[in-house]
Structure formats: structure tokens, C-alpha cells
């Protein structure tokens, strides 16, 4: 496919000032689709920036203006190291039908995945995540999808038309159980209903609220490490750090925590795509939120440039195995530890048809310690029950 047919070239005004000397800036060290430089030589890149100026199915409009505002801030930051090649494909061409955008994103995502290029979506409203879901559904295996959001964006009652507050209904459909494992971090309990919490519990989904994650941010790393797609709603950041959101709130992640989450995402070999959504420039103050989104992208790319290949199945020579016998249940819990980074995995007693080996889920050293104390980690149970559905 010719990606030039899908994208408008990048067209930005020259900035009034630069954070770093211009020759060291991000924009001088990436490939950019411009009117006189069409998209070409894509295969030598590892990351593609995809602007999506679309909020047609958003309940609150304004996020369609975000991609160029974020891009303008990102271009002024310092260049990333030479280990990563970035291509800014421009902004997706938008038609009157939002469904056209979803299926264009599906096709673009599949094309980039085939080339081992990670797409980074700069939205637009969060229902655009639907395009990534459609792409993952075309690929074999079960895919974990993670939302970083102050709310659960699925409807209490079924609805026909997709929008920014119910787009998760698609992957939570019982028919999609074999394709998707939904996970959530950062929800705030006063923004979710009892029915939503009950559904999360009944379907054995992993959901970690804001207070738990902020108390120990590294809890998020294993969940992020297993995710094929991460959809990040910038409404999850507190208003003082990100005033330019569609629904500002006094509570949420701090800006540096938001950047840490994206860096974890960049380090993960499992991650195939990332999206940052719901930034509303009309509510912003001195482009503060656009600047935060740009810094979060910078940290994601920095993480991506430092990825190392490690997994119990792929690098067994760099993995140590630990087996713990649980006295009461007579269950044996199997843990694996990387000698390269000291990251941990749990092995589940369930066959993964995509690999013909058992499922492995990322975990922490604390999970291993709990097992040593005869306590089965909560995520072990949830994943096993989810896979058995």
C-alpha cells in the first residue's frame, strides 16, 4: 500500500524560539513527510508518528486540533539517540464518515506492524483506539489491550454507535474473549459505576486504581510490558499538570509519572502500538498539555531506543527458573527471571496456541515474594480464570 494516499504532509509554522540549538532538535533528526518529500524508505525506521485530527464521535469536541500542537512542541525537544529512526507520516486524511478513519487506521497499523514499525497515534478522541483493535484482531493470538484512563470507557447498557465513552465494548464482547485481554490502570473510583466494577470483577480483568498505581508506580510496569496496544487518555493527568484536556480533573497522575508510564511502554518488546488521546488545545494554558504530551512521546521513544530482547521462550540462556510449591493448593508456581534486566515472569499452566508453550505473564519481584510466602499473586488467578472462559 502507498501510505502517501492516507496522509496529508506535515505543515507547521516556524517556532518563535527553540528549547535547544536548532541543529540538535528533534525535527532535524527524523524523517518528515512534507509536500516536497513524500513518504519513502520506510523500512529503515522503527517508529512512525501518526497524527489523527478526528473527534467526530467524541462526546466533547476539540481534540481534533491536538496533533499539530503536540507535534510543534515535540519538534523543539532534543534529538533522541541514534539507536532509533523516526518517521513523521503526517496527519491522516479525514472524511465525513468517522468509520472511514477507523478502517484507515486498521490498514495503516497492519502495514506498519508487518514492517516491524511501531505506530504512535497522536489523537483525536479515544474511540480512535477502535482502529488498533481492528488491526490486532487480524493477527493471530490473544492480545492484551491496556487503557490508562480515569474512567472505564464501556457502556453499562449496550449501545449501537461507537463513541469515546463506549469504544471498549468491542473488545469486551464475549465473542472477542479469545482475541483480547482488557486491562486498565489509573481509574478513579468516583468516576466509575458499581455495575462497571462488578463487570470488571466478574470477567477477571486487571484494573488498578489511581491511588494504588501512584503509591508504587513500578506496579504498572509488568502490566504495560504485556500489552500489545496501550490507549492513553490524557484526562488521567491532574488538571494542574494538564489543563488542556476534554474533562479536566483536580486529581490524576503527575506529569513525570505520565512520562514514566510511556517510557515503560517504549521498553516493552510486546507493544505494537501506542496512542495518546483527548488533548483539547482550546482548554490549554500556554500549550502546557501539548508540551507534556510531547515529553511523554520523547520518553516513549527513548525507551524504544533502549529495548533489549528478553523473554523466557526467546532468550532461555539469559533466564533463571524458580519453582514454588503451594502447600494448601498443591499448585506449583513457576517464575522466570531475566539475568539481563532482572525482570520477572510467571508461567501459567495453560497452553498458548500461538506458541504451543504455556502462557507467560509479566510480574514483579514482589509477586515472587508473595508466592514464597504461600500467597498466589492476584494477577496469576485473574489471567488463568480469564483464559479458561
Per-residue pLDDT band for 223 (boundaries 50, 70, 90) equals: very high
In terms of domains, do 7 and 63 share one?
yes
Has residue 290 been placed in a domain? Answer: yes
Residues 35 and 93: their CA atoms lie apart, in Å, by 14
Alpha carbon of 351 to those of 333, 384, 385: distances in Å? 15, 11, 13
- For 260-271, write each residue's pLDDT tens digit: 999 999 999 999
Query: DSSP secondary-structure letter at 81?
Result: P
Whether residue 220 is found in the same domain as residue 348: no
Residue 71 pLDDT > 80: yes
Do 281 and 326 sit in the same domain of this protein?
no
Q: Based on the domain organization, do 369 and 326 belong to the same domain? A: yes
Q: Which of 12-26, 200-214, 219-233, 268-282 is least confident?
A: 12-26
Which residue range(s) make up the domain with 336?
Answer: 316-387
* φ/ψ (deg, to 5) at 255: -60, -40
| One domain, residues 260 and 382 | no
Residue 311 is assigned to a structural domain of this protein: no
Instruction: List, for residues 28-49, the tens digit of each pLDDT value.
Output: 899 999 999 999 999 999 999 9
Q: Which residue has the cell 496522509?
A: 7
CA distances (Å), 99 to each of 59, 74, 108, 147, in order?
16, 29, 14, 21
Range from 27-41, 268-282, 369-383 that averages highest in pLDDT: 268-282
User: Final residue of a domain: which of 280, 305, 330?
Assistant: 305
Average confidence (pLDDT) over 267-296: 97
What are residue 50's DSSP bridge partners?
121
Cβ contacts of residue 275 below 8 Å, gap of 6+? 120, 121, 122, 123, 126, 128, 129, 132, 229, 230, 231, 232
Q: What is the pTM of this model?
A: 0.96
pLDDT band at residue 16 using 50, 70 and 90 as cut-offs: low
140 shares a domain with 164:
yes
| Whole-number Cα distances in Å, 373 to 173, 209, 229, 259, 370 | 37, 25, 33, 34, 5
Do the beta carbons of residue 367 and residue 373 sit within 8 Å? no
Amino acid at each position: 500500500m502507498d501510505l502517501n494516499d492516507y496522509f496529508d504532509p506535515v505543515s507547521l509554522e516556524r517556532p518563535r524560539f527553540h528549547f535547544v540549538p536548532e541543529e540538535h532538535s528533534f525535527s532535524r533528526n527524523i524523517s518528515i513527510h512534507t509536500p516536497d518529500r513524500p513518504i519513502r524508505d520506510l523500512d529503515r525506521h522503527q517508529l512512525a508518528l501518526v497524527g489523527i485530527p478526528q473527534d467526530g464521535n467524541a462526546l466533547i469536541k476539540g481534540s481534533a486540533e491536538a496533533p499539530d500542537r503536540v507535534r510543534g512542541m515535540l519538534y523543539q525537544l532534543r534529538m533522541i539517540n541514534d539507536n532509533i529512526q523516526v518517521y513523521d507520516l503526517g496527519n491522516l486524511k479525514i472524511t465525513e464518515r468517522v468509520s472511514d478513519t477507523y478502517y484507515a487506521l486498521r490498514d495503516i497499523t497492519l502495514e506498519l506492524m508487518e514492517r516491524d514499525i511501531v505506530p504512535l497515534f497522536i489523537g483525536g478522541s479515544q474511540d480512535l483506539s477502535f482502529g488498533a483493535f481492528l488491526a490486532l484482531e487480524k493477527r493471530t493470538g490473544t492480545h492484551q489491550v491496556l487503557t490508562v484512563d480515569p474512567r472505564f470507557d464501556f457502556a453499562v447498557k449496550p449501545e449501537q454507535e461507537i463513541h469515546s465513552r463506549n469504544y471498549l465494548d468491542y473488545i469486551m464482547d464475549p465473542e472477542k474473549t479469545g482475541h483480547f485481554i482488557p486491562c486498565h490502570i489509573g481509574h478513579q473510583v468516583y468516576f466509575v459505576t458499581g455495575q462497571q466494577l462488578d463487570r470488571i470483577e466478574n470477567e477477571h480483568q486487571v484494573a488498578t486504581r489511581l491511588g494504588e498505581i501512584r503509591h508504587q508506580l513500578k506496579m504498572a510496569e509488568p502490566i504495560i510490558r504485556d500489552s500489545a496496544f496501550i490507549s492513553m487518555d490524557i484526562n488521567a493527568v491532574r488538571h494542574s499538570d494538564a489543563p488542556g484536556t476534554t474533562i479536566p480533573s483536580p486529581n490524576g497522575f503527575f506529569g513525570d509519572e505520565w512520562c514514566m508510564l510511556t517510557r515503560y511502554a517504549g521498553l516493552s518488546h510486546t507493544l505494537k502500538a501506542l496512542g495518546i488521546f483527548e488533548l483539547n488545545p482550546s482548554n490549554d494554558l500556554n500549550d502546557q498539555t501539548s508540551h507534556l504530551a510531547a515529553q511523554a512521546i520523547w520518553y516513549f521513544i527513548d525507551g524504544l531506543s533502549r529495548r533489549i530482547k528478553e523473554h523466557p521462550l526467546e532468550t532461555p540462556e539469559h533466564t533463571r527458573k524458580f519453582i514454588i510449591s503451594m502447600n494448601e493448593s498443591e499448585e506449583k508456581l513457576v517464575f522466570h527471571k531475566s539475568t539481563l534486566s532482572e525482570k520477572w515472569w510467571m508461567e501459567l499452566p495453560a497452553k498458548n496456541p500461538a506458541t504451543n508453550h504455556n502462557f507467560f505473564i509479566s510480574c514483579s519481584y514482589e509477586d515472587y515474594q508473595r508466592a514464597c510466602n504461600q500467597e498466589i499473586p492476584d494477577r496469576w488467578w485473574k489471567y488463568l480464570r480469564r483464559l479458561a472462559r
